């Protein structure tokens, strides 16, 4: 029996992943890692739970963890503790910065992100009643003059950037990012740079757009994906010092503070494990292996895969003849209990695309992909 396509409100990621959480199946929709955090990190969490850290943490963050972040970026930009704020995951960072930037810009303005677009980049402007522009050109033929024209015509004052991106794991080159930063300065535009997947690249690490001297640049990152702790909600933002006092004040009323035990466990984990990056390297290699496996399997089955350089997902166009990704996703789950995200969630130009989470054990990924491919053959 076919599932009727209905008007769905809210996040399609939540819609599809909640089906699995409620009725079972393979969750290839939500970007949740299907593996445990580092064993040493879990041990540190157990240890800190016996310490007197069960009340509010300092609003700016656990001092030892903030210091680790400062040292971690020292070769890229001369951070001090005043440039850093711990937040409840990158999602709070994005909404907090958006709220702050709305205080800076008094007149109406537009917001731009590069399609396909992660949901927060599009939904935050909607919440604030601001026009949002999905700019499609994220290819190697990126046209800076065309972007400039779009910015001027739509009065763009804020750009979201991510590298690698979500759902498409495109990595921006240093030259491209430098050009966008120069254009932003010329056109009086702010940039929020989302680096959540920056450690999860396929081959070459992405350029980190973090610079405390740039008053128009805000940097966002978290530990969620790199250490497989999405439920801990520990993120951070970095910005020019002139912004930080007001951002801190807003954080007091929006997020207050980040989990004290989680921050303490992370700080002790980094202090006692100099080789912590080996865990991240293993995850990185696993994701790349899963990407190459899925790309090969899906390409042979008639799916079109835009080449990605990193991230958690594979972004793919459905085989010729299948044009409705939402109906495809709903019926795939109904008949095969495999959940994916319809492409229309990320772009109005991607109704025949789907996003697939790759952070799964190979055997689970294989089973989910084979179910998906077999189902696609009945629809093509």
CATH number for the domain spanning 218: value is 3.40.640.10
| pLDDT value for 298 | 98
Q: Say if residue 218's pLDDT is above 90.
A: yes
Q: What pLDDT score was predicted for residue 60?
A: 96
Q: Are residues 139 and 188 in the same domain?
A: yes
Tokens of 337: 């209990």
Is residue 24 located within the same domain as residue 80? no
Q: Across all residues in the chain, what is the average pLDDT?
A: 94
Among 141-145, 291-295, 334-338, where is mean pLDDT lowest? 141-145
- Angle of CA points 93, 94, 96, to nearest 5°: 65
pLDDT band at 212 (very low <50, low <70, confident <90, very high): very high
Domain boundary among 241, 272, 303: 272
Question: Would residue 7 count as lying in a domain?
Answer: no
Q: Which residues contact 98 (CB under 8 A, 6 or more apart)?
A: 124, 128, 158, 192
Task: Say whether both 208 and 293 belong to one domain.
Answer: no
Secondary structure (H, E, C), 10-39: CCHHHHHHHHHHHHCCEECCCCCCCCCCCH
Domain end marker among 251, 272, 293? 272
Beta strand 341-342 with 353-357 is: antiparallel
Tell me, yes or no, whether 181 and 300 share the same domain. no
Domain contains 225 = yes
How far apart are alpha carbons 118 and 108 in whole angstroms?
A: 23
Categorize the per-residue pLDDT at 137 as very low, low, confident or very high, splitting at 50, 70 and 90: low
Beta strands in 195-327 (DSSP E): 217-222, 235-239, 313-317
In-domain check, residue 45: no
Would the pTM count as exceeding 0.75?
yes
**pLDDT by residue (tens digit) across 239-252?**
999 999 999 999 99
Strand partners, 357: 313
* 141 phi and psi angles, rounded to 5 deg: -90, 30
The angle subtended at Cα 39 by Cα 220 and Cα 88, nearest 5°, is 25
| pLDDT for the residue numbered 380 | 63
Q: Which pLDDT score, from 0 to 100, does residue 11 have?
A: 83
Whether 265 and 48 have beta carbons less than 8 Å apart is answered as yes
The residues with which 353 forms a beta bridge, in sequence order, are: 317
Would you place residue 9 in the very low, low, confident or very high pLDDT band (cuts 50, 70, 90)?
low
* pLDDT of 7 higher than 70: no
* 80, 202: one domain: yes
Q: Is the pLDDT of residue 17 over 90?
A: no
Q: What is the number of other CB atoms lying within 10 angstroms of the CB of residue 252? A: 10
Q: Which two tokens stand for residue 188?
A: 């009086």
The pLDDT of residue 86: 98
Q: What is the CATH number of the domain that holds 307?
A: 3.90.1150.10
Q: What is the mean pLDDT of residues 246-266?
A: 96
Same domain, yes or no, for 81 and 187? yes
Residue 255 has a pLDDT of 94
Spatial distance between the Cα atoms of 44 and 82, rounded to a whole number of angstroms = 27
| Torsion 322-29-3-376 (CA) sign | positive
Residue 6 sits at the vertex; the CA angle it makes with 3 and 11, to the nearest 5 degrees, is: 105
List the domain range (segments joined by +) for residue 129: 53-272
Pair (174, 313) in one structural domain:
no
Same domain, 26 and 101: no
Q: Dihedral angle at the C-alpha atoms of 179, 188, 91, 356, nearest 10 degrees? A: -40
The answer to whether residue 28 sits within a structural domain is yes
Do residues 189 and 217 make contact, with C-beta atoms less than 8 angstroms apart? no
* pLDDT for the residue 20: 85
160 in the same domain as 105: yes
Poorest-confidence range of 1-5, 318-322, 335-339? 1-5
Closest by alpha carbon to 190, among 162, 218, 166, 163? 218
Strand boundaries in 15-168, DSSP class E: 26-27, 84-87, 110-114, 132-135, 156-162
Domains: count for the chain: 2
| Distance in angstroms (rounded) separating the CA atoms of residues 355 and 329 | 10
Q: Same domain, yes or no, for 259 and 334?
A: no
For residues 350-364, give the mean pLDDT: 96
pLDDT digits (tens, 9 = 90+) for 58-112: 999 999 999 999 999 999 999 999 999 999 999 999 999 999 999 999 899 999 9
Quote the DSSP letter at residue 82.
G
Residue 359 confidence (pLDDT) above 90: yes
- Asked if the structure places residue 4 within a domain, the reply is no
pLDDT (average), residues 357-380? 93
Q: Is residue 48 part of a domain?
A: no
CA distance 169 to 138: 11
| End-of-domain residue from the set 257, 272, 287 | 272
| Residues 82, 237 contacting (CB under 8 angstroms) | no
Q: Confidence class of residue 357 from pLDDT cuts 50, 70 and 90? A: very high
Whether residue 1 is predicted with pLDDT greater than 60 in this model: the reply is: no
Comparing 9 with 177, the larger pLDDT belongs to: 177
pLDDT score of 216 more than 70: yes
Residues 248 and 289 in one domain: no
Residues 66 and 204 in one domain: yes
> Is the model's pLDDT at 197 over the cut of 90?
yes
Average pLDDT over residues 284-299: 97
pLDDT attached to residue 106:
86
What is the residue whose two structure tokens read 């015509």? Answer: 153
Which pair of tokens denotes residue 37? 């955090």
């Amino acid at each position: 029996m076919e599932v009727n396509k209905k008007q769905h409100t809210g996040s399609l990621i939540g819609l599809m992943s909640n089906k699995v959480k409620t009725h079972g199946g393979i969750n290839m929709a939500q970007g949740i890692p299907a593996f445990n955090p580092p064993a040493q990190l879990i041990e540190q969490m157990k240890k800190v739970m016996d310490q007197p850290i069960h009340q509010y943490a300092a609003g700016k963050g656990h001092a030892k963890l903030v210091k680790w972040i400062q040292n971690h970026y020292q070769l890229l930009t001369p951070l001090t503790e005043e440039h850093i704020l711990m937040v409840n995951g990158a999602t709070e960072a994005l909404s907090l910065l958006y709220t702050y930037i709305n205080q800076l810009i008094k007149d109406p303005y537009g917001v731009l992100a590069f399609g396909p677009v992660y949901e927060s980049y599009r939904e935050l402007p909607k919440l604030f009643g601001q026009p949002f522009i999905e700019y499609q050109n994220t290819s190697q033929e990126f046209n800076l003059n065309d972007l400039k024209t779009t910015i001027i015509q739509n009065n763009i004052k804020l750009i979201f950037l991510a590298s690698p991106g979500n759902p498409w794991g495109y990595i921006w080159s240093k030259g491209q990012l430098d050009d966008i930063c120069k254009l932003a300065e010329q056109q009086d535009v702010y940039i929020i740079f989302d680096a959540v997947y920056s450690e999860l690249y396929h081959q070459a690490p992405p350029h980190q757009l973090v610079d405390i001297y740039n008053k128009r640049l805000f940097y966002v990152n978290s530990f969620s994906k790199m250490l497989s702790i999405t439920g801990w909600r520990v993120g951070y933002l970095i910005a020019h010092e002139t912004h930080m006092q007001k951002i801190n004040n807003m954080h007091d009323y929006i997020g207050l503070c980040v989990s004290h035990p989680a921050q303490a466990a992370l700080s002790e984990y980094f202090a006692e494990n100099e080789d912590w990056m080996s865990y991240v390297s293993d995850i990185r290699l696993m994701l790349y292996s899963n990407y190459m496996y899925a790309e090969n399997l899906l390409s042979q089955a008639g799916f079109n895969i835009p080449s990605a350089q990193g991230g958690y997902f594979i972004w793919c166009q459905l085989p010729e003849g299948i044009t409705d990704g939402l109906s495809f996703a709903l019926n795939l789950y109904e008949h095969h209990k495999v959940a994916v995200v319809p492409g229309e969630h990320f772009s109005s130009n991607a109704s025949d695309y789907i996003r697939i989470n790759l952070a799964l054990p190979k055997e689970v990924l294989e089973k989910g992909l084979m179910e998906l491919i077999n189902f696609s053959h009945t629809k093509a």
